[in-house]
Amino acid sequence: MTCFFFCNRVGKSRNKWESTAIPTLPLGPKMFQGATALNIDAKGRLAVPTRHRDGLQSGSGSKQVLTAHPHRCLLLYPAPAWEPIRARIMGFSSFDPQTSLWKRLLVGFAEEVELDASGRLLISPELRKFAGLDRQAMMVGQGSHFEIWSQEAWDKQLDQILVASDKLPPGMENFAL
């Protein structure tokens, strides 16, 4: 797919503006980043920040997938980004107790959701209970998807990072910012 950047330039007569399409690099998948504090209303709806709405809806109509994560947060994917993950999980053996647990968690809690006309996402009572979501939440970009944390759980994650900040995980020993 070729994308175009449109600009105006002076034509040959130097007094007439004309529009010119300049080819650019193809646009890749939306990269979700940043952490945003959000409120959850009494009905369990979370208003997705405007800057992320198009990325969550592009290529999927208006479908997203919300599921549980073993760290007690939720994962929010655009539906097309979730499908290969779901397919891979479903390929795991049902006879292995460990992979069955992962299937139950990731696929068992997975829900297809849509943003409403106001850009709000309805989080089911089951998923809110799983993640301990009440009134305040953090929406944290992770590249292809978002994590949704209760404010309390997110604060604990930050505390863990700060306590262990001098101990890099394997593979990041030579990482520099």
Each residue of 33-58: pLDDT tens digit? 999 999 999 999 999 998 998 888 87
pLDDT at 127 over 60: yes
More confident site: 164 or 1: 164
When mean pLDDT is compared across 2-6, 99-103, 112-116, the lowest value belongs to 2-6
- The reply to whether CATH 3.40.1550.20 applies to domain 35-163 is yes
Please say if the pLDDT value at position 158 is more than 60: yes
24 strand-pairing partners: 3
pLDDT for the residue 59: 66
Structure confidence at residue 74 (pLDDT): 98
Give the pLDDT band of residue 61 (cuts 50, 70, 90): low
Per-residue pLDDT, 60: 55
Helices (H), 13-150: 50-57, 79-90, 97-106, 125-131
Each residue of 9-32: pLDDT tens digit? 334 444 443 433 333 333 345 689
Report the distance separating Cα 45 and Cα 123, nearest Å: 6
Query: Dihedral sign, CA of 87, 93, 95, 99?
Result: negative
Higher pLDDT among residues 59 and 111, named by residue: 111
What's residue 9's pLDDT?
36
Instruction: Please tell me the predicted confidence (pLDDT) of residue 177.
Output: 75
DSSP E strand boundaries for 11-83? 17-24, 35-39, 45-47, 63-68, 74-78
The model carries a pTM of: 0.79
Which residues, 6 or more positions from 31, have their beta carbon under 8 angstroms from its beta carbon?
141, 143, 144
Tokens 């301990």 found at: 132
Rounded to whole angstroms, the Cα distance separating 61 from 118 reads 16
Note the pLDDT of residue 29.
Answer: 56
How far is residue 120's CA from residue 113's CA, in Å, rounded to a whole number? Answer: 10
The domain segmentation of the chain, as residue ranges, is 35-163
What is residue 82's predicted lDDT score, i.e. its pLDDT?
94
With 50 as the cut, is the pLDDT of residue 83 above it?
Answer: yes
